[in-house]
Amino acid sequence: MYIAIEGIDTAGKSTQIHALRTLFPNAVFTKEPGGTDVGQSIRSMVLNGALDSKLAEMFMFLADRAEHTEKVIIPNLSSLIISDRSCVSGVAYATVQNVCDLNTLVQLNRLATNNHLPQHVFILQLTRKDLTYRLSQKEHDAIESRGVDYLLSIQDALIASAHALGMQTHVITASQSIDIITLEISNLIKGAL
């Protein structure tokens, strides 16, 4: 089973991935972008603001997704795969940036993944207040520097994108304690296995 943990920056994805590593030690853990050598280069370019074109940024992420699917997802389809982000993020970010229409984005991502999409997506949802506080506690990368309103629009787009891609979507309140969130996610995973 292939699942993805989604959420805007500071929502707690990395924290949950770390906790899930302990609970599911035999799972294959990966991330998008950055789950392959090529993906690490693409991730670095985008987070450092190397691209001016939003269209170029979208195609870089699609290239990473195709490589990631070929090298990580397809060879491990018989295992539990837990990914930090997925095509849901790709569709959401491109939608908010008005790169192209939602239907085209869905089709491009289906093409890049050869239709190997996560069966379950867990979206960690933050309130404006929680997001503002968490951002105030850290330095910002190029995406976080776009501001609270931008990130909240991404959060809404994550939910819409998961539904548009036809995935089983679980929205989880990210202001809960880490342990409660982990329990909620792990129970849903165990129930789906």
Computed over every residue of the chain, the mean pLDDT equals 91
Tokens of 141: 């990368």
Q: Which residue has the tokens 């691209």?
A: 51
Please report, to the nearest 10 degrees, the dihedral formed by the alpha carbons of residues 174, 177, 180, 185 taken in order. 30
**Residue 138 pLDDT exceeds 70:** no
Q: What is the CATH number of the domain that holds 135?
A: 3.40.50.300
Enumerate residues 6+ apart whose C-beta is below 8 A from 8: 126, 131, 151, 152, 154, 155, 158
- The structure's pTM equals 0.90
pLDDT score, position 143: 62
**pLDDT tens-digit profile of 18-27?**
999 999 999 9
CB 83 within 8 A of CB 2: yes
Domain membership of residue 67 as a residue range? 2-192
Q: How many domains does the chain have?
A: 1
